[in-house]
Structure 1
Amino acid sequence: MALKVESLSKTFGKQKALNKINISIEKGEIVGLLGPNGAGKSTLMKTIVGALKVEEGTVALDGFSVEKSPLQAKKKIGFLPENNPLYLEMFVKEYLYFIAQVHGLSKQRIEEVVAQVGLTPEVNKKIKQLSKGYRQRVGLAQAIIHQPELLILDEPTNGLDPNQIIEIRNVIKEIGKQKTIILSTHIMQEVEALCTRIILINKGEIIQDVPMEVFKGKYESLEQAFAEYTA
Structure 2
Amino acid sequence: MIEVEHLSKVYGSTRAISDVTFNVDKGEILGFLGPNGAGKTTTMRILAGYLPATKGTARIAGLDVHENSLSVRRQIGYLPENPPLYPEMTVEGFLYFVARIKGVSAARRKEKVETALSKCNLIDRRHTIIRKLSKGYKQRVGIAQAIVHDPPAIILDEPTVGLDPRQIIDVRNLIKSLAGDHTIILSTHILPEVSMTCSRVAIINQGKIVATNTPENLMTQLTGGSGYELEIRGEASLAKQVLQNVTAVILVESIPTMATHGMILPERAYLRVVTQPGTEPGSEIAQTLLRAGFDLYEMRRVSATLEDVFLKLTTEEKIQPTESVDEVSELSK
Which TM-score tier does this pair reach, normalised by the shorter chain? over 0.9
Q: Which residue of 1 aligns with 2:306?
A: 222
The 2-side partners of 1:21 and 1:143 are apart by 25
Match of 1:133 among 128, 131, 136: 136
Check whether the contact 2:26–2:180 (CA below 8 A) recurs between aligned residues. Answer: no
Q: Shift of the alpha carbon at 1:148? A: 1.0
Q: Which residue of 1 aligns with 2:46?
A: 47
Amino acid at match of 2:147: I
Q: Secondary structure at the match of 1:75?
A: helix
Q: Shift of the alpha carbon at 1:89? A: 1.1
The answer to whether the aligner puts 1:85 opposite 2:91 as a matched pair is no
Q: Which residue of 2 aligns with 1:75?
A: 74
Q: Which residue of 1 aligns with 2:36?
A: 37
The 1-side partners of 2:200 and 2:103 are apart by 34
Q: Which residue of 2 aligns with 1:22?
A: 21
The answer to whether the aligner puts 1:199 opposite 2:202 as a matched pair is yes
The 2-side partners of 1:112 and 1:78 are apart by 15
Deviations 1:187-213 (A, max 9, x none): 211111111111011111111111222
Q: Shift of the alpha carbon at 1:126? A: 0.3
RMSD (CA atoms): 1.2
Amino acid at match of 1:226: F
Amino acid at match of 2:142: G
Deviations 1:3-54 (A, max 9, x none): 1111211101101111111122210211111111111110001001100012
Deviations 1:125-171 (A, max 9, x none): 10011111111110000001111111111111111111111111111
Q: TM-score, normalised by structure 2?
A: 0.67
Check whether the contact 2:91–2:127 (CA below 8 A) recurs between aligned residues. Answer: yes
**What's the % identity of the aligned pairs?**
45
Q: Shift of the alpha carbon at 1:108? A: 2.1
Q: Secondary structure at the match of 2:32?
A: strand
Unaligned 5+ runs, structure 2: 224-303, 316-333
Q: Secondary structure at the match of 2:163?
A: coil
Q: Secondary structure at the match of 1:89?
A: coil
Q: Secondary structure at the match of 2:162?
A: coil
The 2-side partners of 1:187 and 1:24 are apart by 21
The 2-side partners of 1:144 and 1:204 are apart by 29
The 2-side partners of 1:25 and 1:177 are apart by 12
Q: TM-score, normalised by structure 1?
A: 0.96
The 1-side partners of 2:310 and 2:194 are apart by 12
Q: Secondary structure at the match of 2:202?
A: strand
Amino acid at match of 1:157: T
Amino acid at match of 1:46: R
The 2-side partners of 1:25 and 1:165 are apart by 24
Structure number with bigger Rg = 2
Check whether the contact 2:90–2:128 (CA below 8 A) recurs between aligned residues. Answer: yes
Check whether the contact 2:36–2:189 (CA below 8 A) recurs between aligned residues. Answer: no
The 1-side partners of 2:2 and 2:180 are apart by 17
Amino acid at match of 1:21: V
Matched residues, number: 230
The 2-side partners of 1:57 and 1:153 are apart by 22
The 1-side partners of 2:79 and 2:65 are apart by 18
